[in-house]
A = this chain, B = another copy of it.
Amino acid sequence: MADDKKLTTRAEDFSAWYNEVVLRAELADYSPVKGSMVIRPNGYGIWERMQRALDDMFKATGHQNAYFPLFIPESFLHKEAQHVEGFAPECAVVTHGGGKELEEPLIVRPTSETIIYHMYAKWVQSYRDLPILINQWANVVRWEMLTRLFLRTLEFLWQEGHTAHATHDEAEEEALRILGIYRDFAEQWMAMPVITGLKTESERFAGALRTYCIEAMMQDRKALQAGTSHNLGQNFAKAFDLQFQTESGEMAHAWNTSWGVSTRLVGGLVMTHGDDNGLRVPPRLAPIEVVIVPIWKSDDERGRLSEAAEQLRRELTEWTGRGNSDRLRVHVDAREGVKPGAKYYEWELRGVPLRLELGPRDIEKQSVFSARRDTRAKAAIARAGVAESVARILDAIQADMLTEAKARREAATIRSVSSYDEFRDIMAGDGAFVYAGWNGDPEVEARVKEETKATIRVIPDAEFRSTVPPAKCLITGQPARHEVVWAKAY
């Protein structure tokens, strides 16, 4: 499966470490199309679990899935002025089809606002047709020059929600509801703490009124924008003539939101939790939560130990204490010709949360030997009631991983920078999430980016703000309009 060469450590070269983990844990591979990746079963299995969890949350809040075309007429992109400015330079263009040159080139969707709101305009006549709450799971293409596996690829998989509402406030409520879902998902499933809040104008989605986001900190102290939720106002409704008759009989433009997360999250998971032994996957997203390794010393023990491992697997997977549809996901590695140590190495690299070892002595003692992937803590577990013990350990791992990631972020968060010089030193050094006052001027933001590569990641929601918010802009000394979070970012 994986070669035996030691991984580059995070401290040596975080970026090399990341690529090695992704490739050697077989999450993804490079493809012959520059910038496009292949998502291998180990990586796709994580994405599938992410999809399932998010999809359930979307449906529980009244959303339905649908599917809109991959190709968008080039003219559609031009109907919303900011939108075309943002996306036209990144487009892949189909000029020929069925052996002929097309009359109008087709854009491979970089995002689907234009074609979706065109369809909504056809479907909506009256306020009774609202709200429309639709999501689609799809691939999109953005022509990127500098690509990184999962983090920035020419093609990626995502979900994009698109809603239409009768009022601004309903749209705003929807955008914030989704932001809450994204946050819950990041924290409760990915064990990845995030800061929620608003993007500044320069980082706002092309065509949106307001862009909300969840921002996470990676282990190299850089920020990852992990999900965005946009209140689009009436910009697209006006561009695509999405009107409806109100209850009082007048015509009005609808209010839209759009929101998305992508396979980028898999990269975020690696960079949040991975260690120098490879990947660590939070149990709730792990395609395999538990790997059982039977240990035999001689060939005639092999049959008996494999059978005991299989029995243990059955007991674990048949246990319904977590609910009938949420069984423990268990794999037995009884491969011949591979030493236990080599197996441990492989499953650690792949990030399986819990390893159970089963040797003749364990059977004798009616116990199982366990090794946590997150802390590498080892302990014997009594065979009786093993499923419940395992479930409890997995819960602990899930919780501990979030706590650990949160502590790491807090340790790399600075709220007390007193001068722009100090700020520059931080960004030139290890980096950090720096909370500071900002006068609200986009030119100041641009200058800081130019000089330090740091950007305003988010104007944080109240919960994340300092108890005593800074009165002055760190850069200009003028009165601060917002407290903001600065960081270098992916």
A residues touching B (Cβ–Cβ < 8 Å)? 29, 31-33, 36-41, 44-45, 47-48, 64-73, 76, 88-99, 105-106, 108, 115, 118-119, 122-123, 134, 138-139, 141, 143-145, 154-155, 157, 323-325
Residues of B contacting A91 with CB < 8 Å? 97-98
Choice from B32, B66, B73, B108 contacting A73 with Cβ under 8 Å: B32
Contacts known (A29-B122, A70-B139); A65 close to B38, Cβ less than 8 A:
no
Rounded to whole angstroms, the CA-CA distance of A29 and B105 in the bound complex is 22
Residues of B contacting A93 with CB < 8 Å? 94-97
**Interface pair A66/B89, CB less than 8 Å apart:** no
Residues of B contacting A44 with CB < 8 Å? 64-67
Contacts known (A66-B38, A66-B40); A94 close to B92, Cβ less than 8 A:
yes
Rounded to whole angstroms, the CA-CA distance of A300 and B72 in the bound complex is 51
**Interface pair B38/A72, CB less than 8 Å apart:** no
**Interface pair A36/B324, CB less than 8 Å apart:** no
Choice from B64, B92, B98, B323 contacting A96 with Cβ under 8 Å: B92
**A-B residue pairs in contact (CB < 8 Å), sample of 14:** A31-B115, A31-B119, A33-B106, A38-B69, A40-B66, A41-B66, A70-B108, A70-B139, A70-B155, A88-B99, A89-B98, A91-B98, A97-B154, A324-B325
Rounded to whole angstroms, the CA-CA distance of A89 and B73 in the bound complex is 22
Inter-chain pairs besides A39-B66, A39-B67, A92-B98, 6 sampled, C-beta below 8 Å: A31-B68, A48-B65, A67-B157, A70-B108, A70-B141, A95-B96
Rounded to whole angstroms, the CA-CA distance of A324 and B322 in the bound complex is 12
The smallest beta-carbon distance between A145 and chain B, in angstroms, is: 7
Q: Chain A contact residues: over half helix, strand or loop, or mixed? A: mixed
Rounded to whole angstroms, the CA-CA distance of A421 and B105 in the bound complex is 49
Contacts known (A38-B69, A97-B143); A76 close to B32, Cβ less than 8 A:
yes
Rounded to whole angstroms, the CA-CA distance of A154 and B69 in the bound complex is 9
The 4 A-B pairs at the shortest CB distance, nearest first, are namely A98-B143, A324-B324, A325-B325, A41-B64
Residues of B contacting A94 with CB < 8 Å? 92-95, 108
Rounded to whole angstroms, the CA-CA distance of A295 and B67 in the bound complex is 35
Rounded to whole angstroms, the CA-CA distance of A323 and B320 in the bound complex is 12
Rounded to whole angstroms, the CA-CA distance of A37 and B70 in the bound complex is 10
Rounded to whole angstroms, the CA-CA distance of A64 and B43 in the bound complex is 11
Rounded to whole angstroms, the CA-CA distance of A47 and B138 in the bound complex is 14
Residues of B contacting A66 with CB < 8 Å? 38-41, 44
Residue of B nearest to A123 (CB): B29
**Interface pair B155/A33, CB less than 8 Å apart:** no
Contacts known (A38-B119, A41-B64, A119-B38); A31 close to B69, Cβ less than 8 A:
yes
The smallest beta-carbon distance between A58 and chain B, in angstroms, is: 12
Rounded to whole angstroms, the CA-CA distance of A109 and B343 in the bound complex is 38
Residues of B contacting A69 with CB < 8 Å? 31, 33, 36-38, 155
Contacts known (A29-B119, A324-B325); A98 close to B145, Cβ less than 8 A:
yes
The smallest beta-carbon distance between A249 and chain B, in angstroms, is: 16
Rounded to whole angstroms, the CA-CA distance of A423 and B33 in the bound complex is 51
The smallest beta-carbon distance between A280 and chain B, in angstroms, is: 21
Rounded to whole angstroms, the CA-CA distance of A197 and B280 in the bound complex is 47
The smallest beta-carbon distance between A435 and chain B, in angstroms, is: 36
Rounded to whole angstroms, the CA-CA distance of A64 and B47 in the bound complex is 12
Choice from B31, B95, B139, B143 contacting A95 with Cβ under 8 Å: B95
**Interface pair A67/B95, CB less than 8 Å apart:** no
Residues of B contacting A141 with CB < 8 Å? 70-71
The smallest beta-carbon distance between A272 and chain B, in angstroms, is: 22
Contacts known (A90-B98, A96-B93); A115 close to B32, Cβ less than 8 A:
yes
Rounded to whole angstroms, the CA-CA distance of A157 and B44 in the bound complex is 18
Rounded to whole angstroms, the CA-CA distance of A67 and B45 in the bound complex is 10
Rounded to whole angstroms, the CA-CA distance of A105 and B463 in the bound complex is 50
**Interface pair B29/A72, CB less than 8 Å apart:** no
Rounded to whole angstroms, the CA-CA distance of A76 and B32 in the bound complex is 10
